[in-house]
Amino acid sequence: MNKKKIIIEQMKAVGTYHESKYNTVIDLLTNVLTRYEMVLKNWKEEGKPLFSDRISDRGSVNKIKNINLQMLEDYEKEISALCEKLGLTPTSLKKIDSTDKDKNNEVASPFFKMLKQIETEKEPDNFS
């Protein structure tokens, strides 16, 4: 099953899916998730470095935040914002009075659970 279908199913499950209103945002989220997974894979293959060396114009070596790590952080912010627009975050679920709770008595977000699976190197359950 592809990411777009999963997002739509999750939106239907929480009652936030309206076909004509959200297709552009769903497509954008699908693209950002694909890029996130590619960058995450590259970062893991590099050994998950926090910093990289950068040589300045003067020849000195400076430590900078690893570009893949920075991109992951940026994508996570973008994913979070898009999920909120689609009603897939705990905050947006509370707004629609969701009654599904997780173990910690917080509103469960199936989408963020899948994102967590990606980050912990498990194969996502429904991503293709």
- What pTM value is reported for the model? 0.67
* Distant-in-sequence, close-in-space partners of 72: CB < 8 Å, separation ≥ 6: 36, 39, 40, 43
| pLDDT score for 61 | 92
What whole-number percentage of the chain has pLDDT above 70? 71
Residue 111 has pLDDT above 80, yes or no: no
Confidence of residue 100 (pLDDT cuts 50, 70, 90): very low
- Tell me the Cα Rg of the chain: 17
Confidence of residue 128 (pLDDT cuts 50, 70, 90): very low
- 8 A C-beta contact, residue 54 and residue 61: yes
| pLDDT score for 14 | 83
Supply the mean pLDDT for the chain: 80
Calpha distance 7→29 (Å, rounded): 9
| pLDDT score for 26 | 92
DSSP symbol at 113 = H
Residue 101 has pLDDT above 60, yes or no: no
- 8 A C-beta contact, residue 43 and residue 72: yes
Per-residue tokens: 72:
């992951």
Residue 105 has pLDDT above 60, yes or no: no
Domain ranges of the chain: 3-119
